[in-house]
Amino acid sequence: MKTALIFGSSGLIGNELFKTILLNNSYDKIKVFVRSIPEVNNPKVEIIKTDFFNLEQYKDKIIGDDCFFCIGTTKKDTPDKEEYRRVEYNIPVNVAKIAKANSVKSFYYVSSIGANPNASSNYLKNKGQVEEELKNLNFSKLAIFRPSLLIGNRKSFRLGEVIFTPVMNTLTLFAFGSLKKYKPIKIQNVVKAILYISKNVSEKIVFESDELERIAKSIS
């Protein structure tokens, strides 16, 4: 029996990922770690109400085959710097460490375009530092996804995406080579690529946004 673990199922990527996994037959069981209980009635799904700042008490639940980590926040939603760091860095690293200790084979992390442990932006620095920590844990399989601006229906309004998405779409019409990765990407294509990568053997670890787009289009 194959089990998927999903962290961040209420977000844009995590929700689409959860719905897609639920509709296919890749997993016999899906454990969803959430802060509030969603309305889900499916025998394959186990909902685990989680205090993400006290993950040790759930270590007997963080057991399965593939762990998908999609949790993230913004400065608007989490203005306190210490709490922001806990969400963006501590939670993914702690989940990964528990998963590794519990012999979870594969870990899939949704990072961000531009992630860099030495970035001046706290958002990109945290993502980059998490990436480095994950690489050091030596999972049997690790994949890190760096999507660009996401095209999809968010529950919360993000002014930056409303302003920059059309601008980026226009600029990337003339982009070549490494600049292609900055083109906004549909959420469905990110998820298609994540699931394709999770099912196929690959020595590659980091997937930039244009690679996710290419993979998604190749399997459409």
Q: What is the tens place of the pLDDT at every residue in 127-139?
A: 999 999 999 999 9
CA quadruple 12, 112, 61, 194: dihedral positive or negative? Answer: positive
Q: Which residue has the higher pLDDT, 51 or 74?
A: 51
Q: What is the pTM of this model?
A: 0.89
Task: Count Cβ atoms below 10 Å from residue 71 Cβ, excluding itself.
Answer: 22
3-218 domain in CATH 3.40.50.1000? no
CA quadruple 129, 93, 127, 203: dihedral positive or negative? Answer: positive
Q: What is the pLDDT of residues 73-95, one digit of tens each?
A: 988 889 989 999 999 999 999 99
Rounded distance between C-alpha atoms, residue 114 and residue 112, angstroms = 6
| Farthest CA pair distance, the chain | 51
**Which tokens go with 197?**
């990568």
Stretch among 81-90, 138-147, 160-169 having the lowest mean pLDDT: 160-169
